[in-house]
Structures are given as C-alpha cells and as structure tokens.
Structure 1
Amino acid sequence: MKLNCIAVDDEPLALSLVSSFVEQTPFLNLSGKFGNAVDALDAIHSLEVHLVFLDIQMPDLNGMELARVLSQSNSTFHTKIVFTTAYNQFAVEGYKVDALGYLLKPFGYEEFLATAMKAKNYFELIQDNQSAPEPEVKDNFLFVKSDYKLVRIDFDTILYIESLKDYVKIHLAAPASPVVSLSSLKAIEEKLPASKFLRIHRSFVVNISKVDSISKNAVHISAMDISVGELYRDAFKELLSRWN
C-alpha cells in the first residue's frame, strides 16, 4: 500500500529535505507540505493522511500540541505522527501521544527510510486486520500437539497464549497447567474466534473474557500483566471501546 504523508516544519530547508525524502520513497505519497501546524491540521481533517512528519518547535500551535489534538480525536482514520526535531527532550512526550517515530535532526535518508518502513509495516497490519474476514469457527475447542499427543483445549479455559520462539505456551485457568506446543502463535491464532481473542503484542494473544482489568497500554489477566505492543495499540483501543 502507498501511504499519504504531509510534512510540517517552519524551517524551509528542513521542510524541503523531508519532502524530498518522502518523494523518493516508493511507498510514500506527498499529499502536502506546511510551514505551520494550523494549516496541517486543516489538511488532516480534509484528507486521508496516514503519516505526518512533524516538527515540534513552531509558533502558534506547536507540533506536540497538534499531536495531542490528533491523539484525542475520535476519527476512525488512523493518522500517525513521526516527530522531526533537533530536541531529544521531547521523546517521553512523544510516547505519550502515541508517536510512531522520532527522528532527531540532523538525520539522513537511511534513518528516514527505517522509520518509514516501520510506518509501512504498521499500516499493513491495520489493513490486514480490517480486511481479513473472521474464519468460521464451528467448535468451541481446538487440538494442539503436546508431548507427542493431541491435547484438546476448550476456548473458555484459555487465559492467554504466549509465543516462545518456536513454541507457544497456552496458559489455562486454574487448576489446569499450561500446555506447550511446537507451533507458531499465528497458526494458533488462526484457529481461534476473533470475537473472543485479541492479539495485543507480537508474543501474546489474550482471551477477552478473561481480562481482569486494563491500564494504560497493558492488560491484566490472573497474575500476569501483558504490555500492549506498539503495532497493536489500535486493536487495544478497540478493546477499550467495547468496555466504555
């Protein structure tokens, strides 16, 4: 897929550099470039913008304030921020507004491309999750290979599933012990009903009905706190919306 991007910077040379980087990247499309955050916000509201390369220190509305506005928006379109700044003290604030990347000036095309690839992977994951139909699951259980035998596991007994390199560890409600199987997490996930299970990290799938509580970027199941991976935060927000 091709990502629609805008560049925002009050320094003409910096704006020109980022714009040229976008234009030479095959999977990016430059939808606009702006010298201030106010005009950029208008463009974001009128266009489908995937990615904003955003300077922070700007007059009137600064980049961090614009990012906060976008992070609080109820829009269903996922606009993500990559900060481009000469000041590294904003990294923590960038995390708070769910920025996808942080490019510290001066940066070259290699650093830019690495961040752009990260954005591409993020949006492809979102697209796959939205377009893939939920597989029909007729049974309420699955069988997995463990200790040279097939073990039946009822969906309702699963707390969460953890990836351990070439294995998965299926954590079950007490008093049952976890089941370890030589399999990928993706292969197990495909056997689960999407309405009941949610992948929130590259190494974890959780049973939604077993979630005890939710805090910022983490879910709590039994005695386990599971962090939400950056690529899965929108799925996590969907989970939150079900409970609000």
Structure 2
Amino acid sequence: MKLNCIAVDDEPLALGLVCSFIERTPFLQLAGRYANAIDALKAIHAGKTDLVYLDIQMPDLNGMELARVIANGPETPRIIFTTAYKQFSLEGYKVDALDYLLKPFNYEEFLRSATKAQAYFELVNKPAAADVEETAYFDSRYLFLKVEYQFVRIALDEILYIEGLKDYIKVHLKNDAKPIMSLTSLKALEEKLSPRRFMRIHRSYIVALDKITAMTKSAVQIGATSIAVGNQYKDEFNRFLGKWL
C-alpha cells in the first residue's frame, strides 16, 4: 500500500527537501505541499491524508497547534514532525506523533522514520479476519506480544509501564530508548497481567508496581517519568498507596 502524504513547512528549501524524499520513497505518495498550516488543514479536511510531515515553527498556526486540531478532529492522519528545535520532542509525544525528525536530517534518517509509519499502517489496516487472532499471550515470566508479523518475547521484569494510544499500545522497557508497539488494546492486556505486579492507574497507562520510584496521591514516578492517576482509578490506587504508608 502507498501512504498519501503532505508536507508542511514555511521554509522553501526544507519543504522541497521533504517532498523530494517523499517522492523518492516507493511506498509514499506526495499528495500536497504547503507553506502554512492553515492551507494544510484545508487539504486534510478535503481529502484522504495518511501522513503529515509537519514543521513546528510557522507563522499564524504553528505545527504543534495544527497537530492538536488534527487530534481533536474527525480526520486522523498521523504526524511526523520535522523541526530544528529538539525542545518540542516532549510536546510531540503528547500529541501522539509517530516520529520526530530533527533538522538537518538525511534520506537514511527519513527512510527509517517512513518505514516506522509504514509498519504502523500495515498493523492498522490488516485484514479483518486477522483481528480475531490473539495479539498477546503470557507465561509466568514473559509477555509474548504480536509486533508486525511475529510474536516478540518481553520479560515482565523489564517492563516499566504500558501506554495505551488510539488503537495500539507502547510497552516501555528498562534500558530501551524506543518502546515496543503493538496493535492491541490496553484493556486486553489489563485482563491478562497479574494485579500483584501491574496496576492500571489511568485510562492510558498500566504501571509495573515494582518499578515505581515515588508516589503522591495523584501521580506515580517511574524514573524520570511522572504519570497522573486518573479519577476513576483513584480508589484502588489509594488502597495500594495505603500499604506504602
């Protein structure tokens, strides 16, 4: 399958480079190029867009603002940020961007990011008959998680926390900069994980209890990551917190 892409950047040279990389990649289709986010938003509303290569620092409506509009709208293209400012990486994570390309980047870096997007869309668009297959199974020490077309073994002791996104999960591991992504639901995993080792504290997070390094009544800390406790999970969390006090 080919992914319909648009590129958005107010710098002509940067826009031209991204467009040339898209056209050079066999599984990408350049559907439009825009010098501002407002025109890009009109294009997204007008037709099917799978992937948006999006600069951040732009006049009027910047890339991060556009990403928030997209996230709350009926169309849900995925975003890969292309920016010279690394300080926006955390915000990019919050709007569920697929990747974050830091300028200047070469074609090898672009292709690696595009391949990640391709893998995501293949997971999302797999045949309906495959949807009934098990996406994860367990033994006492390991989680076997379906990643693309194979099951990957993950040691339960290595899991820090599991993050649920729109239609897939990310498993965050010790000593691993990149989380493992799988097309399954947080609810499906919650039903199988042992409540003695894992707890759901938010509609988007399950945490490994033995990896918690600090807690308050409203959040847990796992290393450098702080995760808020959702309102509907506070009663159970407070019972757990009481055992610490």
TM-score, normalisation: structure 1: 0.61
Number of the residue aligned with 1:25? 25
Number of the residue aligned with 1:128? 126
* Residue 44 of structure 2 is aligned to residue 44 of structure 1: yes
Which of the residues 92, 97, 103 maps onto 1:105? 103
- d(CA) in 1 for partners of 2:7, 2:92: 17
CA contact (8 A) 2:138 2:144 kept: no
Number of the residue aligned with 2:205? 218
For residues 192-219 of structure 1, give each alpha carbon's deviation from its aligned partner in whole angstroms, at most 9, with x where no partner exists: xxxxxx9734589615498964526413
Change (3 A) 1:71 1:106: same
- d(CA) in 2 for partners of 1:14, 1:203: 30
SS in 1 for 2:15: helix
Deviation at residue 78 of structure 1 after TM alignment: 3.6
Deviation at residue 4 of structure 1 after TM alignment: 0.4
1:118-197 correspondence runs (5 A)? 118-128=116-126, 130=128, 132-134=130-132, 169-170=138-139, 178=140, 185-186=145-146
Aligned residue identity for 1:206: L
Aligned residue identity for 2:86: N
CA contact (8 A) 2:70 2:76 kept: no
CA contact (8 A) 2:190 2:206 kept: no
CA contact (8 A) 1:199 1:206 kept: no
For residues 159-194 of structure 1, give each alpha carbon's deviation from its aligned partner in whole angstroms, at most 9, with x where no partner exists: xx6xxxxxx643xxxxxxx4x68x954499xxxxxx
TM-score, normalisation: structure 2: 0.61
Aligned identity (percent) is 52
Change (3 A) 1:122 1:131: farther
1:69-108 correspondence runs (5 A)? 69-73=69-73, 75=74, 78-108=76-106
CA contact (8 A) 2:8 2:34 kept: yes
Aligned residue identity for 1:98: D
CA contact (8 A) 2:23 2:29 kept: yes
RMSD: 3.4
Where structure 1 has 5 or more consecutive residues not aligned to the other structure, the ranges are 138-160, 162-167, 171-177, 189-197, 226-244
Deviating more after overlay: 29-38 vs 85-94: 85-94
SS in 2 for 1:56: coil
Number of the residue aligned with 2:154? none
Which of the residues 107, 110, 115 maps onto 1:117? 115
Change (3 A) 1:32 1:130: farther
SS in 2 for 1:98: coil
Change (3 A) 1:220 1:43: same
Deviation at residue 105 of structure 1 after TM alignment: 1.0
Higher-Rg structure is 1
SS in 2 for 1:49: coil
Aligned residue identity for 1:51: L
Change (3 A) 1:16 1:203: closer
Q: Where in structure 1 do 4 or more consecutive aligned residues deviate above 2 Å?
A: 129-135, 183-188, 198-205, 207-214
Matched residue count: 176
Aligned residue identity for 1:96: K
